[in-house]
Chain A
Amino acid sequence: MKAGVARLLTRLYPRVWRQRYGAEFEALLEASPGGLRAAANVLWSAAHEHIQGGNMERDPGSFGAIVRHPSALIPMAMSLIALALVLGPIAIYGPPVREPDEGAIAHLWQILMAGQMPVLAFFAIKWLPRAPKSTLAVLALQAGAVLAAMAPVFYFNL
């Protein structure tokens, strides 16, 4: 197998896995005859390593480990759902006109935005003392998701 292809295929694996096995795996790929079957085998195995978390001991304080916690993911998911709730009708029906009765979508948006606050607080209280740097990075992501969900509301003055 050509060195460039071997390097490219090795890069499909999780970073932690590559740090441990990358060099020897790339050497094995270069020594192997290659072909579609070998490439498919590597693709499948790399995907499996990603799903299995790389099968390696992940640093529990790393960004990758922190961001996988439900208390990190749930607020971001709630913000994204809130954003979709606003953008969906706008995409279908065009910019809405402000009405006295806010409607079901507005109430859902408010519940999603307010409901994630206790989860955010829990996440920050639990993880900031343990892994400040990674937790701040995740909090920045969560803040970005909140701002993204609020942006169309303010932009369209809903």
Chain B
Amino acid sequence: MRSTRHVVLDENGPELGHYSDPPLLVLASLSNGPKHGHAMIEDILGLCGTQLGPGTLYGAIARLEQQGWIEPLPAEDRRRPYRITAEGLRVLRARLATLQQFTKAGAERLEAL
């Protein structure tokens, strides 16, 4: 997966930006059911407070589709929903496990301070 660092500033100030990996966020958003672009943006905003721009979202969608980790469903009007594939779910689990390990190790180091 392409690693992308994307910092979104929020009302708490510039020092508390959200770390964002758009492809991972899209996979996470689709893990509880198919969604179209606008629904993904809203869902990701609720999930972690990151507001993906439309260009960033479709850049991630194009790459994920090319890798076979998501797939398009028939278009509804002009909006096209996407769903995560079995391979996409496997990748998402692996990435989340790595992040969990990283979070745990980081928290332990903080506690040791």
A151 within 8 A of B: no
CB contact under 8 A between A55 and B63, given known A24-B37, A24-B79, A27-B79: yes
B113 at the interface (CB under 8 A from A): no
Determine if A28 and B79 form an interchain contact, defined as CB atoms under 8 angstroms apart.
yes
Q: Does B46 contact A (CB under 8 A)?
A: no
Q: How many residues of A contact B (CB 8 A)?
A: 24
Tell whether, in the assembled complex, residue A28 and residue B62 are in contact, meaning their CB atoms are under 8 Å apart: no
Binding-face segment, B23-31, B53-61, B84-92: B53-61
Supposing A55-B62, A55-B63 touch, asked if A42 and B55 sit within 8 A by C-beta, the answer is yes
Chain A residues with CB under 8 Å of B58's CB are 21, 25, 28, 45
The secondary structure that dominates the A interface is helix
| Residues of chain B within 8 A of A55, CB atoms compared | 59, 62-63, 66
A32 in contact with B56 given A55-B62, A55-B66 (CB within 8 Å): no
Which of chain B's residues 78-101 have a Cβ closer than 8 Å to chain A? 78-80
Assuming the A-B contacts A24-B36, A24-B80, are A45 and B66 also in contact, with contact meaning beta carbons closer than 8 angstroms in the complex? no
Residues A13-44 near B (CB distance < 8 A): 17, 20-21, 23-29, 31-32, 37-38, 41-44
Partner of A27, one of B61, B62, B78: B78
Residues of the B chain whose Cβ atoms lie less than 8 Å from the Cβ of A32:
38, 41, 54
Question: With the chains together, A55 CA to B65 CA distance in Å?
Answer: 10
A-B contacts, 29 of them at CB < 8 A, read A20-B62, A21-B58, A24-B75, A25-B37, A25-B54, A25-B58, A27-B78, A28-B36, A28-B38, A28-B54, A28-B57, A31-B38, A32-B38, A32-B41, A32-B54, A38-B53, A41-B54, A42-B54, A42-B55, A43-B55, A45-B53, A45-B58, A45-B59, A46-B55, A55-B59, A55-B62, A55-B63, A55-B66, A56-B62
Listed in ascending order, the chain B residues whose CB lies under 8 Å from chain A are 36-38, 41, 53-59, 61-63, 66, 75, 77-80
